[in-house]
């Protein structure tokens, strides 16, 4: 982290959630319900019917404990320019949606502001060699380096969500599994801001884990997503159906081992064995990974954040990943055919 980045100020912090969908909406609602715990104004950036519903009725939250929706007032805007500079910005967008917002996110952040990208896959702030003796974000998730340059990787606090939620209708967030958020930084980076934000989120009722090194959590998530999401999207099968097919099961296992080797090269440890992860995948007969869900619903798949950026990192580190590379190219071809790729 740059030594020139000012610390977060004392007192209440203003927080903006960009993308208050299933995960972002859960975080925003929890924060807005806990404003007396070191928090200032809570705002969200949304659009369309979701934005209008939040403005009309508040951000509504259903949980296993509160099955009747709780309406929570929050400031909701479409244009980030309508808000003052924020102390903390939490982005809960899919990885491919973030680069287009680089300029707006940079303007939204106060000079001391921190950004917390909650993403699947390799985040834009993760450093790869730039070929000139420095580092940059993977071009697959930060085209032309705009996020790295305008927002700044030094501002980023890593976040991974292990939660189950959905948006049954505009303005309504339904939490099925409370789960937790994992927050952290890379080794050697300051942690004071991580600890402060973690406590704010805990005070808001969220379960927070702080994994050190953060790469352990990051690569453990990639370990599952790169393998199970890719094979599911290419086959059209649920996780359990994949596990019942010896060839597809072996393909998933091969990708897991490739990601394990990459994690080791990055100084990270994936503690779960491949066989154990495959066994867990077989236990939920109807579960479809998010990439397959996106494909079936006609939405863009997160090909570059989950698969493309991971392949780019493996190439930069000289770690072979032929099975993942082949799966990535097939998924890219599908996206081109669907009109979702350049």
User: Tell me: the pLDDT tens digits for 244-269?
Assistant: 999 999 999 999 999 999 999 999 99
Q: Which of 221, 264, 297, 330 is catalytic?
A: 221
Q: Is the pLDDT of residue 296 over 70?
A: yes
pLDDT band at 127 (very low <50, low <70, confident <90, very high): very high
pLDDT band at 21 (very low <50, low <70, confident <90, very high): very high
Same structural domain for residues 270 and 310? yes
The rounded distance, in Å, linking the Cα atoms of 295 and 114 is: 33
User: Tell me: the pLDDT tens digits for 162-220?
Assistant: 999 999 999 999 999 999 999 999 999 999 999 999 999 999 999 999 999 999 999 99
On whether residue 50 sits in a domain, the answer given is yes
How much is the average pLDDT of 110-131? 96
- Is the peptide bond preceding residue 108 cis, with omega within 30 degrees of 0? no
On whether residue 81 sits in a domain, the answer given is yes
Beta bridge partners of 210: 183
Max CA pair span of the chain:
57
On whether residue 221 sits in a domain, the answer given is yes
pLDDT band at 3 (very low <50, low <70, confident <90, very high): low
User: At which of 212, 245, 270 does a domain end?
Assistant: 212
Beta bridge partners of 173: 61
Residue 4, pLDDT score: 76
Same structural domain for residues 222 and 189? no
On whether residue 138 sits in a domain, the answer given is yes
On whether residue 114 sits in a domain, the answer given is yes
How much is the average pLDDT of 11-33? 97
User: At which of 212, 227, 260 does a domain end?
Assistant: 212
Same structural domain for residues 313 and 167? no
On whether residue 124 sits in a domain, the answer given is yes
pLDDT, the chain, mean: 96
On whether residue 8 sits in a domain, the answer given is no
Total domains present in the chain: 2
Domain that holds residue 326: 215-337
pLDDT band at 1 (very low <50, low <70, confident <90, very high): very low
Same structural domain for residues 196 and 260? no
Cα of 66 vs its chain's centroid, Å? 26
297 is catalytic: no
In this structure, what CATH number is given to the domain that contains residue 243? Answer: 1.10.1040.10
Q: Is the pLDDT of residue 113 over 50?
A: yes
Same structural domain for residues 259 and 148? no
> Residues 6 or more apart from 144 whose CB is under 8 A from it?
none
Tokens describing residue 66:
């509160």
Same structural domain for residues 301 and 167? no
Percentage of residues in the chain with pLDDT exceeding 70?
A: 99
User: At which of 156, 177, 212 does a domain end?
Assistant: 212
Residue 131, pLDDT score: 87
| CB neighbour class for 101 (10 Å; exposed up to 12, middle 13-18, buried from 19) | buried
> Residues 6 or more apart from 297 whose CB is under 8 A from it?
none
Q: Is the pLDDT of residue 2 over 80?
A: no
pLDDT band at 342 (very low <50, low <70, confident <90, very high): low
How is 188-247 classified by DSSP, letter by letter? TS--HHHHHHHHHHHHTT--EEE-SSHHHHHHHHHHHIIIIIHHHHHHT--HHHHHTSHH
Among the listed residues 245, 242, 253, 227, the one whose alpha carbon sits nearest the alpha carbon of residue 324:
227
């Amino acid at each position: 982290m740059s030594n020139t980045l000012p610390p977060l100020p004392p007192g209440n912090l203003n927080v903006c959630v960009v993308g208050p969908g299933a995960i972002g909406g859960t975080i925003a609602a929890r924060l807005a319900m806990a404003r007396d715990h070191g928090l200032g104004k809570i705002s969200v950036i949304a659009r369309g019917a979701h934005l209008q519903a939040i403005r009309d009725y508040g951000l509504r939250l259903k949980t296993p404990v509160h099955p009747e929706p709780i309406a929570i007032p929050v400031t909701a805007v479409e244009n980030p320019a309508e808000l003052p500079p924020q102390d903390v910005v939490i982005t809960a967008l899919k990885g491919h949606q973030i680069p287009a917002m680089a300029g707006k996110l940079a303007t939204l952040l106060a000079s001391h502001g921190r950004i917390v990208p909650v993403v699947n896959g390799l985040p834009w702030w993760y450093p790869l060699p730039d070929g000139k003796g420095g580092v940059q974000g993977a071009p697959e998730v930060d085209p032309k380096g705009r996020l790295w340059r305008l927002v700044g990787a030094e501002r980023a606090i890593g976040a991974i969500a292990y939660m189950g939620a959905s948006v049954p209708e505009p303005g309504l967030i339904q939490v099925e599994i409370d789960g937790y958020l994992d927050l952290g930084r890379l080794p050697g980076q300051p942690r004071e801001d991580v600890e402060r934000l973690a406590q704010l989120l805990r005070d808001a009722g969220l379960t927070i884990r702080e994994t050190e090194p953060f790469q352990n959590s990051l690569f453990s998530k990639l370990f599952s997503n790169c393998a199970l999401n890719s094979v599911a999207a290419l086959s059209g099968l649920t996780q359990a159906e994949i596990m019942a097919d010896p060839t597809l099961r072996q393909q998933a296992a091969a990708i897991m081992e490739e990601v394990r080797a990459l994690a080791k090269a990055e100084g990270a440890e994936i503690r779960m064995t491949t066989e154990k992860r495959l066994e867990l995948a077989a236990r939920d007969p109807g579960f479809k990974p998010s990439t397959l869900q996106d494909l079936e619903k006609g939405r863009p798949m997160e090909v570059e954040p989950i698969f493309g950026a991971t392949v780019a990192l493996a190439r930069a580190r000289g770690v072979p990943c032929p099975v993942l590379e082949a799966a990535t190219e097939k998924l890219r071809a599908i996206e081109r055919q669907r009109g979702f790729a350049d």
